[in-house]
Amino acid sequence: MPAGSGRWGGFWEQRTQQLQSRVRAKEDKIAELETENAVLLLKLAEYKGKIEKSRSEATRISTLYNKQQRLQRNTRSALSQLGLVIQKLNQDIQAFHSSSWALLRDYQDEYQDRVSEIVTAVQRTQQSAETLLACQSKVAHLERALQDVSARHQLERQRRKVLHNSLVELKGNIRVHCRIRPLLPFDSESDDPVLQSSSISREVAHAVDDETVLVKCDRPGHPLINKTYHFERVYGPAESQSAVFGDVCPLLTSLLDGYNICVMAYGQTGSGKSYTMLGPHSDDGPVLPLDPQSDLGIIPRVAEELFRLISENPSRNPKVEVSIVEVYNNDIFDLLAKDSIAAVSGVKREVMTAKDGRTEVALLASEAVGSASKLMELVRGGLQLRAKHPTLVHADSSRSHLIITVTLTTAACSNSTADQACSATLPREQTEAGRAGRAGRSRRASQGASAPQPVPGNPAGCVEQVQARLQLVDLAGSECIGMSGATGSALRETACINRSLAALADVLGALSEHRDHVPYRNSRLTHLLQDCLGGDAKLLVILCISPSQRHLAQTLQGLGFGIRARQVQRGPARKRPPSSQTEGKRRPD
Ligand SMILES: Nc1ncnc2c1ncn2[C@@H]1O[C@H](COP(=O)(O)OP(=O)(O)OP(=O)(O)O)[C@@H](O)[C@H]1O
């Protein structure tokens, strides 16, 4: 290698080495920087992560902040509202406070007023205490006076009643008692349960007191009725069977004294005749013995009382016989007659007039009875044969008139008080008997038989026999054919019942007007009852009526019948004359 080139070469070589070392330094530097860069990148990444975390934290904080802001806003508005409320409350409290004060002041004023009023009242009370005491003693005095007057009034009433009864007895008036039965389900005019329950408006007949019936009807579409009827006794719907019997009972004493007695129940169908005479319906009929509270009617009670009275005075040797007939379709049937095989059956009979003018039923079966239960056994047998037929008005309607005759035969006795009363009224009796034209009775009167006397020369006093009859009559009920719904044979029954009851009313009409002719024979019923209607029997008619609006027409008709019956004056009832033989001879009518 040339020298010149050698120098250059060294230079270059040197230069290259320098450059190379510089490159190496640079490369080292680069490597160092890259390392540094990598570290920085790592740090960058780390910071980025931190930044990201900080950002989400910032977001969360920002959300919380917003929430807090909202809460603050709400709290502020709630606080302001609360402030308003508190303000209002404060105002209210103020108002309440002031009104409480005002009230308290008023109350205090009022309290003062009341206290002063009370003080005044107490003072006044104290002042009037003496007056009050004086008043109280006056009231006590007046009450005593009132009690006194009431007692005297009661006594006067009783006296008046006794006098009235004596007058009725002397005049021979038919005694009429009226019984108003309770309202019953079949009284309803309608199926409407509302109408059925309004019972008050449907009652038109009322017992005002124990002598007066008021019929009052002011229903639209009906004629106005406001009328009172007076009878010897009126029983309201609540009165018991024993109350009714209480008024019948004295007649039994009369029977034992020798008077003929007749108790007859009259009234429209379903008005309570059979209930009154016998008691409530039962297949077995009335049963003895009875207790005073039982529902049994007059007939079983009469049976018991009669035998009780008989047992009190057995020395008169009493004998009791019973016969039972029914008048059905204007024919008389003997309900005790026995056919050839001795079974009991109804046998047709005829009414006759006996020698002494008394009406009798020819060939009538009668049975001697020795006790009330035997008597009632016969009654039960008769009732089983009695004609019955359901109608639209009454499901258990009797279609015949039932007449139970109890004949009491006793030894005549001269010393009873009734005898004296009877002889005292004799002259008047005789004149009235003559005027009424009652042949049988006046004949007996002219024979002097009405006041039984002991046969002269017999010192014992009890010499002959007296036969007295008690007739217990349960009439069939009058009825309006339209209402009863009767057809065919039932229609004939109804017509016969109505005709016989009309005949009964005609007889009473003729008797009350003292007509010469009394049409007893217009019907078998009146012919059969002739002796008790126009004769010398004590006759009690128990008029049965329904209180219901539905039966108003029939009720008025029944009340009219009762009033007409009361007007009959037949002269005083008289005892049966004593006789030494039985009155058996009859002549055909
Ligand atoms: N005072 C009363 N208390 C309670 N129920 C009564 C009374 N009177 C009648 N009754 C009842 O009324 C209904 C009709 O009475 P009852 O059979 O005595 O009539 P009646 O007048 O005999 O009728 P009819 O002439 O058709 O035979 C019966 O169910 C009876 O029990």
In this prediction the ipTM stands at 0.98
Q: Higher-confidence residue: 542 or 287?
A: 542
Q: 400 in ligand 1 pocket by Cβ < 6 Å?
A: no
Which is the closest atom of ligand 1 to the Cα of 394?
26
Amino acid 481: pLDDT: 62
Distance 530 CA to ligand 1 centre (A): 27
Give the span between the Cα atoms of 545 and 557, in whole angstroms.
10
Strands (E) across 414-551 are located at 465-474, 538-545
Q: Which of 275, 393, 543 to mutate to test the pocket of ligand 1 (most atoms within 8 A of CB)?
A: 275
Amino acid 262: pLDDT: 94
Distance 511 CA to ligand 1 centre (A): 30
Amino acid 394: pLDDT: 61
Exposed, middle or buried, 55 (CB in 10 Å: 0-12/13-18/19+)? exposed
Residue 273: how many CB atoms within 10 A of its CB? 28
Please check whether residue 253 lies inside any domain of the structure.
yes
| pLDDT higher than 60, residue 192 | no
Contact partners, residue 587, CB within 8 Å, separation at least 6: 352, 353, 354, 355
Three-class SS state of 523: coil
What is the rounded average pLDDT of the residues 237-247? 94
Which tokens go with 79? Answer: 């606080």
Q: 564 in ligand 1 pocket by Cβ < 6 Å?
A: no
Phi, psi (rounded to 5 degrees) for 197: -80, -20
Ligand-binding site membership of 67 (annotated): no
Ligand-binding site membership of 267 (annotated): yes
The two beta strands, 359-361 and 367-369, are unpaired
Most confidently predicted of 10-14, 294-298, 501-505, 580-584: 501-505
Residue 402 contacts residue 326 (beta carbons within 8 Å): yes
Phi, psi (rounded to 5 degrees) for 70: -60, -45
Closest residue to atom 12 of ligand 1, CA basis: 272
Mean pLDDT for all residues in the chain: 81
Q: What is the CATH number of the domain that holds 577?
A: 3.40.850.10
| pLDDT higher than 70, residue 544 | yes
State the amino acid at position 252 in one-letter form. Answer: L
Q: 273 in ligand 1 pocket by Cβ < 6 Å?
A: yes
Closest residue to atom 9 of ligand 1, CA basis: 272
Biggest distance spanned by C-alpha atoms of the chain: 231
Q: Which of 177, 178, 179, 181 to mutate to test the pocket of ligand 1 (most atoms within 8 A of CB)?
A: 181
What is the rounded average pLDDT of the residues 255-271? 92
Tell me the C-alpha to C-alpha distance, in Å, between residue 364 and each of 6, 125, 389, 581. 202, 85, 26, 19
What is the rounded average pLDDT of the residues 264-274? 94
What is the rounded average pLDDT of the residues 80-91? 93
Please check whether residue 258 lies inside any domain of the structure.
yes
Ligand-binding site membership of 371 (annotated): no
What is the rounded average pLDDT of the residues 245-259? 90
Residue whose C-alpha is closest to residue 479's, from 499, 463, 464:
499
Amino acid 523: pLDDT: 94
Amino acid 289: pLDDT: 54
Q: 184 in ligand 1 pocket by Cβ < 6 Å?
A: yes
Residue 471 contacts residue 263 (beta carbons within 8 Å): yes
Three-class SS state of 546: coil
Ligand-binding site membership of 477 (annotated): no
Distance 397 CA to ligand 1 centre (A): 9
Residue 189 contacts residue 195 (beta carbons within 8 Å): yes
Amino acid 413: pLDDT: 60
Q: Which of 394, 550, 555, 561 to mutate to test the pocket of ligand 1 (most atoms within 8 A of CB)?
A: 394
Residue 359 contacts residue 349 (beta carbons within 8 Å): no
Please check whether residue 407 lies inside any domain of the structure.
yes
Distance 433 CA to ligand 1 centre (A): 38
Which of 134-148, 350-364, 476-490 is predicted with the least confidence, judged by mean pLDDT?
Answer: 476-490
What is the rounded average pLDDT of the residues 562-577? 80
| pLDDT higher than 80, residue 172 | no
What is the rounded average pLDDT of the residues 409-421? 57
Tell me the C-alpha to C-alpha distance, in Å, between residue 278 and each of 61, 113, 230. 111, 74, 25
SS3 content of the chain, % helix, strand, coil (to 5): 55, 20, 30
Which is the closest atom of ligand 1 to the Cα of 184?
12
Q: Higher-confidence residue: 284 or 6?
A: 6
Q: Half-sphere exposure of residue 540, counting CA atoms within 13 Å on the CB side?
A: 26
pLDDT band at 417 (very low <50, low <70, confident <90, very high): very low
Exposed, middle or buried, 321 (CB in 10 Å: 0-12/13-18/19+)? middle
Amino acid 535: pLDDT: 82
Which is the closest atom of ligand 1 to the Cα of 241?
1
Q: Which of 235, 274, 392 to mutate to test the pocket of ligand 1 (most atoms within 8 A of CB)?
A: 274
What is the rounded average pLDDT of the residues 243-254? 92
Distance 273 CA to ligand 1 centre (A): 6
What is the rounded average pLDDT of the residues 23-38? 89
Q: Higher-confidence residue: 387 or 432?
A: 387
Closest residue to atom 20 of ligand 1, CA basis: 270
Exposed, middle or buried, 574 (CB in 10 Å: 0-12/13-18/19+)? buried
Cis peptide bond prior to 289, omega within 30° of 0:
yes
Distance 390 CA to ligand 1 centre (A): 13
Please check whether residue 53 lies inside any domain of the structure.
no
Amino acid 94: pLDDT: 92
Which tokens go with 189? Answer: 């005019």
Amino acid 246: pLDDT: 93
Tell me the C-alpha to C-alpha distance, in Å, between residue 128 and each of 119, 135, 140, 192, 564. 14, 10, 18, 60, 61
Give the span between the Cα atoms of 78 and 69, in whole angstroms.
14
Q: Higher-confidence residue: 402 or 281?
A: 402
What is the rounded average pLDDT of the residues 507-534? 92
Which is the closest atom of ligand 1 to the Cα of 397?
26
Distance 181 CA to ligand 1 centre (A): 8
Ligand-binding site membership of 270 (annotated): yes
Amino acid 465: pLDDT: 84
Query: Cα-atom radius of gyration of the chain, to the nearest Å?
Result: 58
Please check whether residue 56 lies inside any domain of the structure.
no
In three-state form (DSSP H/G/I as H, E/B as E, the rest C), the secondary structure along 404-436 is EEEEEEEECCCCCHHHHHHHHCHHHHHHHHHHH
| pLDDT higher than 70, residue 182 | yes
Buried b (16+ CB within 10 A) or exposed e, 555-573: bbbbbebbbbbbebbbbbb
Ligand-binding site membership of 269 (annotated): yes
Q: 551 in ligand 1 pocket by Cβ < 6 Å?
A: no
Buried b (16+ CB within 10 A) or exposed e, 536-546: bbbbbbbbbbb
Please check whether residue 146 lies inside any domain of the structure.
no
Amino acid 168: pLDDT: 67
Ligand-binding site membership of 268 (annotated): yes
Please check whether residue 97 lies inside any domain of the structure.
no
- Report how many domains make up the chain: 1
Amino acid 433: pLDDT: 33
Query: pLDDT tens across 431-485, in order?
Result: 333 333 333 333 332 322 233 333 333 444 445 788 899 999 999 988 776 665 6
Amino acid 283: pLDDT: 59
548 is in which domain, residue-wise? 239-581
Distance 278 CA to ligand 1 centre (A): 10
Q: Half-sphere exposure of residue 137, counting CA atoms within 13 Å on the CB side?
A: 5
Distance 532 CA to ligand 1 centre (A): 25
Which of 118-127, 272-281, 450-459 is predicted with the least confidence, judged by mean pLDDT?
Answer: 450-459
Distance 27 CA to ligand 1 centre (A): 148
Q: 269 in ligand 1 pocket by Cβ < 6 Å?
A: yes
Q: 437 in ligand 1 pocket by Cβ < 6 Å?
A: no
Which of 187-196, 237-246, 361-370 is predicted with the least confidence, judged by mean pLDDT?
Answer: 187-196
Query: pLDDT tens across 439-448, in order?
Result: 333 333 232 2
Q: 270 in ligand 1 pocket by Cβ < 6 Å?
A: yes
| pLDDT higher than 60, residue 72 | yes
Please check whether residue 29 lies inside any domain of the structure.
no
Distance 388 CA to ligand 1 centre (A): 14
Which is the closest atom of ligand 1 to the Cα of 267?
21
